[in-house]
Amino acid sequence: AQSVTQPDIHITVSEGASLELRCNYSYGATPYLFWYVQSPGQGLQLLLKYFSGDTLVQGIKGFEAEFKRSQSSFNLRKPSVHWSDAAEYFCAVGEDNQAGTALIFGKGTTLSVSS
């Protein structure tokens, strides 16, 4: 069965410092991978996605992620964190059933930004 592991429940980063959020997945075939962000009281917003091709994908808000098949990882990075990045981040893997992609989410990582 597919699964997603986000090892870090909570991370605190200083404003302006770099960020890396870890994500490991378990999936038999080529995965569809996503990172979503959820601000308090809000829905989920797609940051970036990987389907195939270039293993380094760029997303919105200055985020990027790298797909590493050998490590079954899809870590999210940002070179310089802003206070507004404080939120909960979810990694997800999708299974294509020819009509869409039902997502399996990790438990999430809460990011706090200190000044």
Partner 1 sequence: DSGVTQTPKHLITATGQRVTLRCSPRSGDLSVYWYQQSLDQGLQFLIQYYNGEERAKGNILERFSAQQFPDLHSELNLSSLELGDSALYFCASSPLRTSGRYEQYFGPGTRLTVT
Query: Residues interacting with partner 1, by CB under 8 A?
Result: 32, 34, 36, 42-46, 49, 51, 90, 94, 96-108
Give whichever of 42 and 114 is closer to partner 1, judged by the CB atom: 42
Give whichever of 14 and 55 is closer to partner 1, judged by the CB atom: 55
Q: How far is the CB of 55 from partner 1 (least distance, A)?
A: 16
Q: How far is the CB of 100 from partner 1 (least distance, A)?
A: 4
What is the distance between the alpha carbons of residues 33 and 95, in angstroms, rounded to a whole number?
10
Q: How far is the CB of 28 from partner 1 (least distance, A)?
A: 17
Q: How far is the CB of 82 from partner 1 (least distance, A)?
A: 22
What is the distance between the alpha carbons of residues 45 and 37, in angstroms, rounded to a whole number?
5
Give whichever of 81 and 92 is closer to partner 1, judged by the CB atom: 92
What is the distance between the alpha carbons of residues 8 and 46, in angstroms, rounded to a whole number?
20
Asked whether the beta carbons of 44 and 37 are under 8 A apart, the reply is: yes
Asked whether the beta carbons of 19 and 13 are under 8 A apart, the reply is: yes
Residue type, 9: I
What is the distance between the alpha carbons of residues 102 and 114, in angstroms, rounded to a whole number?
35
Give whichever of 78 and 106 is closer to partner 1, judged by the CB atom: 106
